[in-house]
Chain A
Amino acid sequence: MPMIEKADGPVWKRRKSATQWLIWFGWLIALSIAAYAWKLISDKTIWMFVVDAPRQMMDAATRMVPPKWSYIDELWGPIWETINIATIGSIIAMIIAIPVAFAAAHNTTPHKLVRAFALLIIVATRSINSLVWALLLVVIVGPGAFAGTLAIGIRSIGGCAKLLYEGIEEINHNQVEAIRATGASPAQEMIYGILPQVMPTFAGVAVFRWDVNIRGSTILGIVGAGGIGVQLNSSINTIAWTQVSMILLVILVTVILSEWVSAKVRHAII
């Protein structure tokens, strides 16, 4: 914190003036980027529609109430399917992610090359949204929940494996060494030294991912990969607003329930 000597005594400043200028310069750059981005977006916007949007929203909102309660009879199947996509997808993901995570963690990887390959799998599956995976898988295995399950599964490999290998890297090595000192084989070392330490993390990650996947599986229907998104998409396309609001309510309840379940389970584990 520099002091600047002035005629009437020292003045306290928070930063040196060079640093201050640098910070202002940084803000200037950030603002320019924002302004430029805004210009590009606004060039591609038809402002007439935007001006009209509040009226459209009010219109849709009034058409949405009351929700078509009787439509729930047709939604039980899709809800069940949505939950199954998320659950089985998460299980598939965990089954593949666990070996990948052990290969990717510094302390358990068999070889550097294996580690690089495992990290590649993690990055590639993580970076691509499950909707894109679904888009590709619908072409391969045909439309339906199976494509959605595989999409959720593939997308979650990276998401799970990343958290898992970070958990594996944080284990206490004294315990592993103690097991090794008893003359344990590498497999026994894994079962009695490493696994008990990472099991809570694994369970936590699985439940967390399941919660994320419930949200994710509600939209896969847009590209034809099953779940409640199919109904949502067709209801929006046919402008059946009362059905749309019913579906949104159902999604809301499902998401809140899944969040509650995952919070409870994680609380119980950790």
Chain B
Amino acid sequence: MSDAAGTSYPTRWKKPPFIKNSLLRWSIIVGSAVYLAAAIGTMDVNWTRAWEGLPRGVDMMTKFFPPNFADTRGVIFDGILESIWMAIIATIGGIILSIPIGLGAARNLSPRWVYLLCRFIVAASRTFPEIILAIFAVKFFGFGPFAGFIALSIGTIGFFAKLLAEDIENMNKSQAEAVRATGSSWFQWINYAVQPQVMPRMIGLAMYRLDINFRESAVVGIIGAGGIGAHLLTSVQRYEYDTTSAILLVIIVIVMTLEYTSSYLRKWVQ
């Protein structure tokens, strides 16, 4: 054996680690282990209660099948329709409100103070989950779908205005400049230079948001903001799990339909 240079190269290849800095890697590993131990240690799990609940879970599962669509009180159909209409009108209302805010929140369109104001509105409406917005809407506007409409519209602003603004900021500048060079007014400029560039993506996003709004509108009823959620809660509290499963199935089918429609529509407009 003549190891001429006297250095020994590793003869086996080792997979390079995901995080290269070994100090960082080990501190992340140790840190997560400590955190997990603390988190699981402090989580107050009542194992006897959970164990007693298992038969109840099995009972719930068996009662899920077959789902009972009989709908004796005539509430499923009504509630689902209410959820759908709430989602539609909240999407439309939210988008109408989002357009000026989105234009304002685009750095290349608006003066600095408008930009900051609109960004603040977007950030504020994005922070809180729709359910928290709905709790307050119910407090202020009374029970019923109007509260859900308000909550979902505000939620839509945070989503739609943000993406609209980002899309406008990424638009092709030369087209905008070409329209501006024709001596167009501000509104003509927005309508002929900006709108055609962002429209296809916005239609897709509107469909996507409708999808999200329907999912949310199906649960805001739990806190009294209208839609199918109230009946879902009632059916669980009355142990009518066959009705629960029927409602859940209807929700799943509608969500799937919306999702396929929206992805199809997005492919079609782009």
Contact A132 B141 (CB under 8 A): no
Contact B146 A45 (CB under 8 A): yes
Q: Which residues of B contact A45 (CB under 8 A)?
A: 141-142, 144-146
Residue of A nearest to B233 (CB): A135
Interchain nearest-CB distance for A41 vs B (Å): 5
- Could you list some 26 contacts between A and B, CB below 8 A? A34-B88, A37-B85, A41-B85, A41-B86, A44-B146, A44-B226, A50-B142, A60-B139, A84-B42, A87-B35, A123-B255, A127-B252, A127-B255, A129-B216, A129-B219, A135-B233, A139-B56, A142-B46, A144-B45, A144-B46, A145-B44, A145-B45, A146-B50, A219-B129, A222-B222, A248-B132
Bound-state Cα–Cα, A141 to B51, Å = 7
Bound-state Cα–Cα, A269 to B85, Å = 41
* Chain B positions 134 through 149: 1 when the CB is less than 8 Å from some CB of chain A, otherwise 0: 0110011110111001
Given known pairs A131-B131, A252-B127, the reply for A40 and B82 (CB within 8 Å) is yes
Contact A192 B142 (CB under 8 A): no
A270 within 8 A of B: no
Given known pairs A135-B233, A140-B53, A145-B43, the reply for A44 and B144 (CB within 8 Å) is yes
Q: Please report whether the interface of chain A is mostly helix, strand, loop or mixed according to DSSP.
A: helix
Residue of A nearest to B92 (CB): A34
Chain B residues 223-255 with CB under 8 Å of chain A are 223, 226, 232-233, 236, 244, 248, 251-252, 255
Closest 8 CB pairs of A and B: A49-B142, A142-B49, A127-B255, A140-B57, A45-B146, A37-B85, A84-B39, A37-B89
Bound-state Cα–Cα, A45 to B82, Å = 12
Contact B128 A135 (CB under 8 A): no
Q: Which residues of A contact B36 (CB under 8 A)?
A: 88, 91
Bound-state Cα–Cα, A83 to B129, Å = 15
A199 within 8 A of B: yes
Bound-state Cα–Cα, A126 to B129, Å = 17
Residue total for A at the interface (Cβ-Cβ under 8 A): 61
Q: Which residue in B18, B88, B129 is a CB contact (below 8 Å) of A37?
A: B88
Contact B139 A219 (CB under 8 A): no
Q: Which residues of A contact B56 (CB under 8 A)?
A: 139-140
B70 within 8 A of A: no
Bound-state Cα–Cα, A49 to B144, Å = 11
B199 within 8 A of A: no
Residue total for B at the interface (Cβ-Cβ under 8 A): 56
Bound-state Cα–Cα, A252 to B125, Å = 11
Given known pairs A129-B219, A139-B53, A142-B46, the reply for A40 and B85 (CB within 8 Å) is yes
Residue of B nearest to A49 (CB): B142
Bound-state Cα–Cα, A218 to B127, Å = 11
Interchain nearest-CB distance for A212 vs B (Å): 10
Contact B40 A88 (CB under 8 A): yes
Residue of B nearest to A215 (CB): B129
Q: Which residues of A contact B236 (CB under 8 A)?
A: 135-136, 139
Residue of B nearest to A203 (CB): B18
Contact B43 A41 (CB under 8 A): no
Q: Which residues of A contact B45 (CB under 8 A)?
A: 144-146
* Number of interchain pairs (Cβ within 8 Å): 155
* Chain A positions 240 through 262: 1 when the CB is less than 8 Å from some CB of chain B, otherwise 0: 00000000100110011000000
Contact A131 B54 (CB under 8 A): no
Contact B42 A49 (CB under 8 A): no
A56 within 8 A of B: yes
Contact A60 B131 (CB under 8 A): no
B256 within 8 A of A: yes
Contact A146 B127 (CB under 8 A): no
Contact B132 A219 (CB under 8 A): yes
Contact A141 B50 (CB under 8 A): yes
Chain A residues 107-155 with CB under 8 Å of chain B are 123-124, 126-129, 131-132, 135-136, 139-142, 144-146, 149
Chain A residues 190-208 with CB under 8 Å of chain B are 191-192, 196, 199, 203
Contact A56 B252 (CB under 8 A): no
B218 within 8 A of A: yes
Q: Which residues of B contact A222 (CB under 8 A)?
A: 131, 135, 222-223
A232 within 8 A of B: yes
Contact B46 A53 (CB under 8 A): no
Contact A123 B140 (CB under 8 A): no
> Apart from A91-B36, A141-B49, A222-B223, what 14 extra A-B contacts exist at CB < 8 Å?
A33-B88, A34-B92, A37-B86, A50-B146, A53-B140, A60-B139, A84-B42, A142-B50, A144-B44, A144-B46, A218-B132, A222-B222, A248-B132, A251-B132
B60 within 8 A of A: yes
Chain A residues 222-243 with CB under 8 Å of chain B are 222-223, 232-233, 236
Residue of B nearest to A149 (CB): B43
Bound-state Cα–Cα, A169 to B198, Å = 28
* Chain B positions 150 through 193: 1 when the CB is less than 8 Å from some CB of chain A, otherwise 0: 00000000000000000000000000000000000000000000
Bound-state Cα–Cα, A123 to B215, Å = 13
